[in-house]
Chain A
Amino acid sequence: MQEINKEYQPLIVAFCCNWCSYAGADLAGSSRLSYPANVKIIRVPCSCRVNPMFILKAFQRGADGVIMCGCHPGDCHYTTGNYYARRRMTLLFDMLDYLGIEKERTRVEWVSAAEGVKFSNVMNEFAAKICELGENKRLEDLRCKE
């Protein structure tokens, strides 16, 4: 498991599509592949259900990193959902970067139901990266941190 600095525990919200990535997380679980406990998964039917508002909301609520996982492009359970999600997230992440918010705080990964190892690796990597970046200061709502 990733060595996490005990003082600073980043909070990571992971939106996972029900059909691939959530199943990938389940596989990571049943394969006993650990990732930091501060990664919290929210199940959505498809990556295309992830509204940019959810991502901003997570940051507002104190998340230090937000990752969206979906089926690999071409493998969407709903055929095209992740293609739309991909465009939305591309533009949203670009905008966040444009406003000066660290690009590493947001990420999209395509994780299939068979990729438990990838899921765990991605989460470990992402958590390590967020640890490096430290607390989210540029997109925080102080009211949520009182």
Chain B
Amino acid sequence: MLKIELNKLNDLFAKISSSTDLILPVTVAGETNFAKYEDGAEVNLSVQTVKSAKDSFFPQAEDLMKFKTEGKKIDIIDVREKVESFVLFGVRACDYRSFEILDRVFLVDPIDTYYKAKREKGVIVTLACSRPEESCFCSAFGIDATNPLGDVTTYIADGFLYWNANTDKGNALTDAVKDLFAQADSNDEAKIDEQKKNTKEILSKLPYANVDLSGFTPDKLNELFNDAKWEELSEACLGCGSCTFVCPTCQCYDIKDFKTNDGVKRFRCWDSCMYADFTKMAHGNSRNFQLQRFRQRFMHKLVYYPSNNEGIYSCVGCGRCVKKCPISMNIAKVIKTIGGKNND
């Protein structure tokens, strides 16, 4: 394990970004989101980002291809540039888990080559949590916030950032920057263990730490789907997309065309199941009421996805939707309301 003083982190970021793109939490106009590191950027590793880390692999808008027209002639142009390797720094355990959930969507046949290219080139440096928020409930999904995986795992404790490479990619990155680090000793490891212990204690006491998901099993699909509670749960929903756009696991997108000056650019952009035109087809919409749309989101995360993916829920308990819903309705409340009596 290596260590670096926190006040030297900018040197580390400068070094990494000198050879490759570095994506990390940056504060712009008061809000912290993952963004490319640039000289003078206000890096903030102490708060949860507004948007999740998924943008790096699955950006909100992404060009797919281009049709160039000239008179009556149409050329199809591949707009994919060779993806260069990049470093994604400061990913929390919940967001890291979300990549695994996205992989199960994008990397199974048919493989999403746009996603795959980025996923392969991304070096993920995770950061262990030490100060969870009241909205956090990752532990409900079996995630250990204090010990994230990734190519490199880092911990912040006692004025130092500790660095531990886990994979070949991680080792390669470590080699490139190790000059800046000192070797950590057993004393340091003890400090980290102490911090982990403290954090785990806080985590176990969080309000949503013990939401019970056991009621969400594939065999209860019909029962859950027909639950009368959906109506009151969805009543106040505005049908905006805040929850889906801050969510690390939402993976739905829409494909659209943009008419440029010399043709058409085909791109995809995040879609939200909360929107009235989500999965609109020639015959119209499959879900006409907000109740149906609302139910879809949670049924997908808690029932449909797990039944196709060995019981893995498509929620990581990051709590972003808990924080950002304009009317304070969220997945935790849904789980508590229809997830069976253990939640009472």
List residues of chain A with CB within 8 A of the CB of B261: 61-62, 144-146
Q: A62 — which chain B residues lie within 8 A by C-beta? A: 261
Q: Which residue of B lies closest to A142 (CB)?
A: B260
The 9 closest A-B pairs by CB, nearest first: A144-B261, A143-B260, A144-B260, A143-B258, A143-B265, A146-B260, A62-B261, A61-B261, A145-B261
CB A10 to nearest CB in B, in angstroms, measures 16
B258: which A residues are within 8 A, CB to CB? 143
Inter-chain CA distance A144–B262, complex, in Å, is 8
Per-residue A-contact encoding for B244-287, CB less than 8 Å = 1, 0 else: 00000000000000101110010000000000000000000000
Alpha-carbon distance between A123 and B184 when the two chains are bound, in angstroms: 71
Sample of 9 more A-B contacts, CB < 8 Å, known A144-B260, A146-B260: A61-B261, A62-B261, A143-B258, A143-B260, A143-B265, A144-B261, A145-B261, A146-B261, A146-B262
**Interface, chain B (partner A; CB < 8 A):** 258, 260-262, 265
State the main secondary structure of chain B at its contact with A.
strand
11 contacts between A and B (CB under 8 A): A61-B261, A62-B261, A143-B258, A143-B260, A143-B265, A144-B260, A144-B261, A145-B261, A146-B260, A146-B261, A146-B262
Q: How far is the CA of A33 from the CA of B265 in the complex (A)?
A: 40
Complex alpha-carbon distance, A143 and B267, angstroms:
11
Chain B residues with CB under 8 A of A145: 261
Which residue of A has the minimal Cβ distance to B79? A146
The residues of A that contact B262 with a CB separation of less than 8 Å are 146
List, in ascending order, chain A residues with CB within 8 A of B260's CB: 143-144, 146
Q: Shortest CB–CB separation between residue A55 and chain B, in angstroms?
A: 18
Task: For B258, give the chain A residue with the smallest CB separation.
Answer: A143
Interface residues of A in 87-146 (CB under 8 A from B): 143-146
Instruction: Note all chain B residues with C-beta closer than 8 A to A61.
Output: 261
Chain B residue nearest in CB terms to A144: B261
CB of A58 to closest CB in B, whole Å? 13
Q: State the Cβ distance, A33 to closest chain B Cβ, in Å.
A: 30
Q: Given the complex of chains A and B, what is the CA–CA distance between A62 and B265 in angstroms?
A: 16
Interface residues as binary, A51-83 with B (CB distance below 8 Å gives 1, 0 otherwise): 000000000011000000000000000000000
Q: Which residue of A lies closest to B263 (CB)?
A: A146
> Complex formed: what's the CA distance from A146 to B262 in Å?
8
Tell me how far the C-beta of A97 lies from the nearest C-beta in chain B, rounded to whole angstroms. 21
Identity of the chain B residue whose Cβ is nearest the Cβ of A61 in the assembled complex: B261
Among A62, A145, A146, the one with the most B-chain Cβ atoms within 10 Å of its Cβ is A146
Q: How far is the CA of A145 from the CA of B262 in the complex (A)?
A: 9
Please, which residue of chain B has its CB at the minimum distance from the CB of A143? B260
Chain B contacts for A143, CB-based, 8 A: 258, 260, 265
Residue of A nearest to B265 (CB): A143
Chain A CB count within 10 A is highest, among B258, B261, B262, for B261
Chain B positions within 8 Å of A144 at CB level: 260-261
Q: In the complex, A146 Cα to B265 Cα: how many Å?
A: 11
CA distance A61 to B258 in the complex (A): 12
Q: How far is the CA of A62 from the CA of B262 in the complex (A)?
A: 13
The complex places the Cα of A143 from the Cα of B264 at a distance, in Å, of: 10
Which residues of chain A come closer than 8 Å to B265, judged between CB atoms?
A: 143
| Nearest B-chain residue to A145, judged by Cβ | B261
